[in-house]
Amino acid sequence: MNRSRRDFLKRTLGGATLMSLGPAVPGFWARSARAAADDDGRRDTVLVVLQLSGGNDGLNTVVPYADDEYGRKRKTLRLTDSEVHKIDDALGFHPDTEGFARLFNDGTLSVVQGVGYPKSDRTHPGAMRNWHTARPGEVNCPTGWLGRAVDGYWEPGERDLPGVFVGPIPRPFALNAERAVVPAIRGPEELTLRRAGPDAAALFFNVLAATEKEPADGDNPLAEMVRRSTVAAHAASRQVEAAVRAAGTALADYPPYQLAETLGTVATLIRARVGIRIFLTELGGGGIGGFDNHANQRDNHAALLKQLSESVAAFVADLARDEQLDRVVLMTFSEFGRTLTENGRRGTGHGAAQPIFLAGGKLRGGLVGEHPSLADLDQDAPKHHTDYRRLYATMLGPWLGLDAEAVLGERYEPLELFRT
């Protein structure tokens, strides 16, 4: 068997997966699978990015309950020491984020404080564009940072599904790629051939069966790529179907929220091991205003945080049961934080710095960086001290093993987030 075919099978399918497809697989592919059954050891870490649409109020998520300035500026929105889940003698989690508090105490949640960028845009379109592209001010940037990351390890005919958006809204710009096609789905069944019709799999393998003769090296590379893509698609479909069947019990433990259902889908696809290493999903875009709480913030924000906290906690527990959590990091972001002072409608305005939440088995856990000072504000908003592109660089380089500088356009010092 030639080396390129062996590498393809090791990278995309693994020998056991291909052999499990049964007698429909042409003989030379089955022989190739047996020869490639050993693991090639390539990194299979996964990044799940969760967008909090609207501008999450970080000050009422990680609450500086002991700061007098916080109490003075938030007459109705203030949360007291008796309400919060205390982190230390100055900070605590919102009372409806019990799941976050539990993960924090278990060491599987990190909170990176004071994240933002210089001269942050406080409009929704501008701020979201900056977070999605990782190129603040470049209004004509055609690709997103996750899309460029996907392009970095996409291999035509081998890794045909390197990234995916899971959720009910249109795919966000962050996944815009130059070469790869990144789909948007709602459930794992959309990635199976069965979804395309009962004859799809038979048609694919009739094509393969017609090519039983082992192709010679360099003989019709286009046909070779088609064969590879066909085998990869069918194998991925079978793996997803098997993962969906196996996920039934685990999904029953998720709370009854849209985000929980979405993260359950992500967990199913992670277990399926079909080559997806980057996931993007979202909370807030399907509701009125989402996290953009200019009025009557208290109850709406509490409901969103409860959904966020309980859904992420269920996702972490699900992956931990299957010993998959060490492969995965979930990272939140929002377009900006909120102002310190509440307005006359019991809401807050667009701010700047925000806390970023990370969940995963390899994290050091705990607080990262100092809470922004409430005595030194920028137009009534806490200032950032950690550039968000340092966080991106950490996920791209140390975690995913990609060229962060190529994706981001310049070098940013990674953060010390992972256990050695």
| Average pLDDT for 261-281 | 94
Residue (of 207, 248, 206, 246) closest to 224 by Cα position: 207
Task: Compute CA distances 387 → 14, 316, 359, whole Å.
Answer: 39, 27, 19
67-118 per-position pLDDT tens digit: 999 999 999 999 999 999 999 999 999 999 999 999 999 999 999 999 999 9
356-386 per-position pLDDT tens digit: 999 999 999 999 999 999 999 999 999 999 9
CB-count exposure of residue 156 (10 Å: 0-12, 13-18, 19+):
exposed
| Average pLDDT for 179-184 | 92
Domains of the chain: 1-42 (no CATH), 45-408 (3.40.720)
* Tokens describing residue 23: 């007698």
Q: Which pLDDT score is estimated for 251?
A: 73
Mean pLDDT of the chain: 85
pTM of the model as a whole: 0.84
Q: Which pLDDT score is estimated for 210?
A: 52
